[in-house]
Amino acid sequence: MAIALINKPIIITGAATGIGRATAIACAQAGMPVVLTGRREDRLRAAAAALPAGSRSLVVPGDVTNPDDCRRAVEECLAAFGAVYAVFANAGYGYEGPVHEMTEEQVRAIFETNFFGTLNAFRPAIPHMIERRAGHVLICSSCLARFIIPFYGAYSATKAAQHHVGRAMRLELAPHNVFVSTVHPVGTRTEFFDVVAEQSGASTLVKHSPDLFVQPASRVASAVVRCLKRPRPEVWTSQLVRLGMSIGGAIPRTADLFIKRMVDDHTRNASAAAAARLASEGTRVPPAR
């Protein structure tokens, strides 16, 4: 039987934009009180204003890299709505570039937000869920948790780490009647790629993503609400990609060749740029193939 979501409060991180915002709307439509968190208060308030009339919501600005901010979101949810039924740990960002060219700070920063920020988001809510013997943690990972594309190595590593933690927690929390699900969107039309461009200084690879693999944020949001109603371990928003990832995992060399072809133009451009940079520093490099 489907779980009735009415009056079951959910905390959503990164709720100001994209997948988080669309999920806030879908959860409010299902009757859930929604706590919207993120760093930009003005964007959060705009997202809260877009919820259906009569929705119960709360804006709690905060940064997922700060555990105190995440604790405050849980405390304010409890004070306003009397419970925390679900947490959607969704806040995150991407970075495009060769791993070896990323600074140590850049690599650590993406893990701070995407991985440690995810833990920060749900940890303060877990004791409460265990006590009530009811709850659902959803972690926004990515299809890249299962696969790799060049130039997204660090980002994919954060998404794989989220996926692994989610799998372990699913078994740890099952005896307490707390569900844990990982969400694996494919390319989604959000501000994600603007942030990638801002963080990395360039974002050309995504221009090669076939339209087939780019979806609206509302599709992910609907899938999250379906999972809240009927909990399942993993939420995939493209069965075709899920199948591709599974087959690719079984034949990694062929999969790498396929991916290489898909991103070859980008690889050539990036290699040429790196060669030019090194040449200007007086280092000879072999031409890109």
Ligand X SMILES: NC(=O)c1ccc[n+]([C@@H]2O[C@H](COP(=O)([O-])OP(=O)(O)OC[C@H]3O[C@@H](n4cnc5c(N)ncnc54)[C@H](OP(=O)(O)O)[C@@H]3O)[C@@H](O)[C@H]2O)c1
**Is there binding between residue 192 and ligand X (CB under 6 A)?**
yes
Of 79, 69, 27, which Cα lies nearest the Cα of 51?
27
Compute the Cα dihedral for 170, 173, 176, 181 and give only its sign.
Answer: negative
Site string for ligand X, 151-170 (x = CB under 6 A): --------------------
**Is there binding between residue 256 and ligand X (CB under 6 A)?**
no
Task: Tell me the β-bridge partners of 235.
Answer: 183
Which helix H or strand E contains 222, and what residues bound it? helix 217-229
Q: What is the CA radius of gyration of the chain?
A: 20
Q: How far is the CB of 131 from ligand X (least distance, A)?
A: 26
**Is there binding between residue 25 and ligand X (CB under 6 A)?**
no
Of 281, 273, 229, which Cα lies nearest the Cα of 27?
229
Which is closer to ligand X, CB of 81 or CB of 192? 192
Spatial contact of 193 and 214, defined as CB atoms under 8 Å apart: no
**Is there binding between residue 232 and ligand X (CB under 6 A)?**
no
Which is closer to ligand X, CB of 14 or CB of 248? 14
Which is closer to ligand X, CB of 64 or CB of 84? 64
- Angle of helix 153-173 relative to helix 104-111, nearest 10 degrees? 30
Counting beta carbons within 10 angstroms of the beta carbon of residue 222, is it exposed (0 to 12), middle (13 to 18) or buried (19 or more)? middle
- When binding is defined by CB under 6 A, the residue of 30, 76, 78, 191 that contacts ligand X is 191
Give the C-alpha separation, 112 to 114, whole Å: 6
Q: How far is CA 221 from CA 35, 49, 232, in A?
A: 15, 18, 15
Size of the site for ligand X (CB under 6 A): 30
Which is closer to ligand X, CB of 97 or CB of 117? 117
Specify the stretch interacting with ligand X by CB under 6 A; choose among 50-58, 75-83, 92-100, 269-277. 92-100
**Is there binding between residue 96 and ligand X (CB under 6 A)?**
no
Start-to-end Cα distance in the chain: 56
- When binding is defined by CB under 6 A, the residue of 12, 25, 43, 238 that contacts ligand X is 43
Give the C-alpha separation, 135 to 83, whole Å: 10
- C-alpha neighbours within 13 Å on the C-beta side of residue 37: 33
Which is closer to ligand X, CB of 41 or CB of 264? 41
Specify the stretch interacting with ligand X by CB under 6 A; choose among 36-44, 49-57, 128-136, 173-181. 36-44
Spatial contact of 10 and 29, defined as CB atoms under 8 Å apart: no
**Is there binding between residue 244 and ligand X (CB under 6 A)?**
no
- When binding is defined by CB under 6 A, the residue of 74, 86, 125, 140 that contacts ligand X is 140
Which is closer to ligand X, CB of 64 or CB of 161? 64
**Is there binding between residue 9 and ligand X (CB under 6 A)?**
no
**Is there binding between residue 24 and ligand X (CB under 6 A)?**
no
Which residue ranges make up the site for ligand X (CB under 6 A)?
13-14, 16-20, 38-40, 43, 63-65, 90-94, 113, 117, 140, 142, 185, 187-188, 190-192, 195
